[in-house]
Amino acid sequence: MESSTFVLFGATGDLAKRKIYPALYNLYVDQKISTPFSVIGLGRREISKDAFQAQVLNSLQTFSRRPIADSAELQEFLQAFEYSVLDVGRPEDYKKLLQHVRQREQQLHLQENRMFYLSVGPEYFEEIASNINSSGLGSTKGWKRLIIEKPFGTDLKSARVLNDSLSTTFKEEEIFRIDHFLGKPMVQNLEVLKYSNPVLRALWKNRYIANVQITASETVGVEERAGYYDKAGALRDMFQNHMLQLLMMIAMQLPKGSTPEEIRSKKRHVMESLRPLMKEDLAQHVVRGQYTAGEIQGKSVVGYTEEPNIAPTSQIETFIAARLWIEDPLWSEVPFYIRTGKRMKEKSTRIVIEFKEPFNDYHNLNRSTQDPNLLIIDIGPDEALTLQLNTKDPLRHGELEPVPIKYQSGNADMPEAYENLIYDALRGDATFFAHWREVELSWQWVQPIIDAIEEGNLPLHPYSSGTYGPDAAMELLGNDRWWQDD
Ligand code: BG6
């Protein structure tokens, strides 16, 4: 791997401490970062180099998946970190930053490759990108790349404005949009699972699949993010990005050995084939909910509108479910059910494939006494693959009994999503980053929901904390049912 400088905006922020520093450290220990390397942290406050390195050390001690013991290796790692004060709106600060970057490049004999990581609010993206351009920071002999985090816009229009403005400084192939769900090992495994298992490949079509269910349920509530969340809601916070990315990953169909370009083009195909929502019957396909007081794992919790800093009249959804249709030969007539919410019964991100039972009548079996075959893909917090089959129960007069065949990864030393993603970005591999067209198509599909909410045409259903969401989300499935642990 080529050497580079990692320029981190928002270096004293939460994401940097929780995710970015531990990820860099673990990559370093695994020798997945070329050494020597240089990290220049940026923030508004004046901090000495020593104090900054102490902050980085503290973050590793608190959040790294590997235990931290003092060692020459650790000291060497910390020495890579330097700090510069920067006010995002002051062009002269970028000039100073350029000098700092150059000085480190010369001192450490680094190639002029520069990674700009914007771990700051999206309202700063445009200003920072344009200052990177005008200060000369972006004029390098090597590569330059930009990493940004969701949200990419708040609706279709604002996403387009943001993209137009970023693309005056960075080309599409230089922009790495992080959707951290794409960094999760089991999500990265989905494609391999499909193409390397002929058993699954043979069944991967509408002839054999009855429906696909994607759930991301959380037990946490709004936490300390009222300011952000009460504007975003579950639609913008989870659905438009993470949930639709999971949909693309599970629904795309690829031959073995596909290139990053092919993968991203197949993902786009999924979004382009989605049946658009129509204003007239949108409410039959989308359900919004908001949590009320309840109990989660034995603990009482308040309702959303009683949370600190949330208006008692807030109409923001903390839960959303939808039924989607992909109109292509592979998936036609197969409903995709998606739901995500806060303060639900369990923390679980899971995809369930329900298979059809075409021989029901042939064997004269009663549908109600036989469970379908299921493939359950647990993405987190624990990773697992379960295939549910039916067998005869010898103790109950040979009645059919569903039995799960489960594989659970016992590897506790699994890389975290951010490690995978930062590593890929440093190598220039964009496979598991959101392409602009994916983002745009996702907003395009979601926009009618935003419009319906603004026009007051999409009801908000209350649901008790500690449940699987409002009843309306169960009814959304008609004769189907959500497969969940209850
Ligand atoms: C974030 C959302 O993107 O994803 C949070 O902003 C959510 O609201 C989080 O809690 C869930 O991620 P994970 O990895 O814990 O499932």
Residues ≥6 apart with Cβ < 8 Å to 447: 155, 156
Residue 196, classified by CB atoms within 10 Å of its CB into exposed (0-12), middle (13-18) or buried (19+), is exposed
Record the pTM. 0.95
| C-alpha 383 – ligand 1 centre gap (Å) | 16
Q: DSSP state, 361? A: T
What beta strand segments (E) does 307-380 contain? 319-325, 335-341, 348-355, 374-380
| Cβ count within 10 A of residue 173 | 12
pLDDT at 395: 80
* CB 314 less than 6 A from any atom of ligand 1: no
pLDDT tens digits, 360-377: 554 555 444 578 999 999
pLDDT at 358: 62
- Cα–Cα–Cα angle for 185, 190, 192, rounded to 5 degrees: 100
Residue 202 token pair: 């043979």
Enter the CATH code of domain 182-361+368-416+434-476. 3.30.360.10
pLDDT at 254: 75
The C-alpha atoms of residue 339 and residue 320 are separated, in whole angstroms, by 6
Residue from 180, 188, 344 to probe ligand 1 pocket by mutation (most atoms less than 8 Å from CB): 180
Residues of the chain with pLDDT under 70: 255-257, 358-369
pLDDT tens digits, 125-151: 999 999 999 999 999 999 999 999 998
pLDDT at 365: 52
Going by CATH, does the domain composed of 5-149 fall within 3.40.50.720?
A: yes
Domains 5-149 and 182-361+368-416+434-476 share a fold: no
CA distance between the termini of the chain: 48
pLDDT at 5: 97
* CB 416 less than 6 A from any atom of ligand 1: no
pLDDT tens digits, 316-345: 999 999 999 999 999 999 999 999 999 999
Phi, psi of 226 (to 5 degrees): -50, -45
pLDDT at 97: 98
pLDDT at 346: 96
The C-alpha atoms of residue 264 and residue 283 are separated, in whole angstroms, by 31
Q: Position 474: which residue type? A: M
Residue from 237, 241, 339, 351 to probe ligand 1 pocket by mutation (most atoms less than 8 Å from CB): 237
pLDDT at 398: 73
| C-alpha 180 – ligand 1 centre gap (Å) | 8
Domain-wise residue ranges, the chain: 5-149, 182-361+368-416+434-476
Are 485 and 313 a contacting pair, CB within 8 Å?
no
pLDDT at 370: 76
DSSP codes of every residue in 62-92: HH-SS-----HHHHHHHHTEEEEE--TT-HH
Q: Position 442: which residue type? A: S
pLDDT at 260: 87
